[in-house]
Amino acid sequence: MIEASGLAYRYEDGTTAVDGVDLTIEAGERVALLGPNGAGKSTLLLLLGGLLPPDDGSVRYFGTDQPGDAVRDRLGVLTQDPGEYLFNPTVREDIEYGPAQLGLSAAEADRRVAELAERFDLEHLLDRPPFRLSGGEQRRAAIASVLSVDPDVLLLDEPLSNVDGNNEAELLDLLDELSADGVTIVTSTPDTDLVAAVADRVVLLGRDGRVVATGSTREVLTDT
């Protein structure tokens, strides 16, 4: 589904964030990118999502080298910054934006908004401008926007940061349902306790942006 080889990324100030990462993600897998702050998880996720061009190496999607619109339409990437998803006058329009871009009917967009708003407790916030939301509410709205396009592959950068207990449970349930439906899910997290809930396989990154271990969640957690 996603095949990365020799991926490397350096920021302009010379910081090497990702260094020589080889990673294959199979259809339907649940993979966690685990590592301490600064390990390169966010950068790797942006590279895998096609949102940053690698300095070295390459990423192939669905067996093709062409990261065109057809590929982008199948990827849902949640970055750390909710502001990237919230740029319309209202939360409702933010969630509808993706379905509209895909050319779906207004009725289908409405159905998705209603379903996601219910799940993430956003119903009372739909007509509000997104900048008038709390941090956790913004995060939930951003997640709803990403899910509204029904992606085949989800790449989530620390999706539970800033999300409270109730909504955390909702998100974990939803990820389980999506996984059962065959959606491929890659989640980055610094939190070892979370890994077993979101992944069957773990890619452990060290501080230098390299993969230090990979294996089943059980193996990697036992060894660390």
Binding site for ligand ADP (CB under 6 A): 11, 13, 15, 17, 35, 37-43, 112, 115-116, 119, 147-148, 150, 174, 177-178, 181
Pick 65 or 74: Cβ nearer ligand ADP = 74
Residue 35 vs 159, nearer CB to ligand ADP: 35
CB of 85 to ligand ADP, least distance (A): 14
The minimum distance between CB 190 and ligand ADP, in angstroms, equals 7
Cβ of residue 66: shortest distance to ligand ADP, in angstroms? Answer: 25
Residue closer to ligand ADP (CB basis): 108 or 164: 108
Report the nearest approach of ligand ADP to the CB of residue 88 (Å).
17
Burial class (CB in 10 A: 0-12, 13-18, 19+), 60: middle
**Helix 106-119 and helix 91-101, axial crossing angle in degrees, nearest 10:** 130
Q: How far is the CB of 81 from ligand ADP (least distance, A)?
A: 12
| Cβ-based nearer residue to ligand ADP, 131 or 160 | 160
Q: Which residues contact 130 (CB under 8 A, 6 or more apart)?
A: 82, 86, 87, 88, 90, 91, 94, 138, 141
**Token pair for residue 28?**
């339907």
Distance of closest approach, residue 158 Cβ to ligand ADP, in angstroms:
8
Q: Are 32 and 217 in contact (CB under 8 A)?
A: yes
132 vs 213 by CB, closer to ligand ADP: 213
Q: How far is CA 29 from CA 24, 154, 192, in A?
A: 10, 10, 19
- Give φ, ψ of 17 to 5 degrees: -95, -35
Whose Cβ is closer to ligand ADP: residue 111's or residue 218's?
111
Cα dist. 150→15, 38, 40, 81, 159 in Å?
A: 35, 30, 27, 20, 17
